[in-house]
Structure 1
Amino acid sequence: MPTQNPGIARGVLNRVKCSVVVPSSPSLNIISANMGRSLARIAFEGQLVNQIPTGTGLVNSPEPFVIATITIALLRTQAIAAAWFSQILLDSNVEDATIYSDTSTFPPIALQSVVASHMDPGPFDGTSPDFQLVLRGALPINNRLWTF
């Protein structure tokens, strides 16, 4: 018997919703109008749970955090890129940062202990406006660990 399309809505992506917010320094907040075509992305490194082999199975040891990297295509043609460059020259620590995705159904991701870990202003030959900014911090996970 053929399966019918259940008619589940696929949702909508909204390119202008993407943003990165730095609560301690509002002048460093980045909205989509401050970014190049690739906007921003977040990636996580490391295991969420370590599985330690034993003689007869595994012992699970959940991690309390994972490292997260936000890569932003900041527009060098705007003052925000100069503001970030000045901030990095002064202090690469930015404390906390939150990235908002391109859809209202996916929650914001708030990072702690955030630093500007890498920057690449790109070519100065008039071919690309992108200033690549990489932020790195910790995403607390497995919060049930803290309930003793």
Structure 2
Amino acid sequence: MPTEYRKTDEALSSLTPTQYRVTQEAATEPAFRNRFWDSKDAGIYVDIVSGEPLFASTDKYDSRSGWPSFTVPIDAANVVMKQDREYGMVRTEVRSAHGDSHLGHVFNDGPVESGGLRYCINSAALRFIAVDDLEKEGYGDFRNLFTAEEATR
């Protein structure tokens, strides 16, 4: 696992235009037309800019919103909440703590049994690391989040 998560010029230069707009300019990608909204693969999602671990597939659910939705981050220290007053609404923006990437928003309409939160996240802000690749990619410490059954899905 990387010992330091941070935004680098190299990481920024490798982003697609959509990834850059989402993470650096707080844009939102289209619902139902993004990479991870309906993914059922087992693994973790990390910030595409800094690599900091953000969400696990074990906490992902179908919110029917068209974006990947999670009930909780892997480590709350890796996400920052900020009040967002854009577009005449008051919302809570979710950003990565170390990379300062815009990830999406958190809402209070998630599953009650999981605490009621819905982290509605842009796929363009995420890089997926499959369970089988956790060790190879330096995230082996997160293998314990998955049962043997979850790892084979």
Fold conserved (TM > 0.5)?
A: no
**Could you say which structure has the higher strand fraction?**
1
**Could you say which structure has the higher helix fraction?**
2
Which protein has the larger Cα radius of gyration, Structure 1 or Structure 2?
A: 1
Q: So what's the TM-score if we normalise by structure 1?
A: 0.31
Q: So what's the TM-score if we normalise by structure 2?
A: 0.30
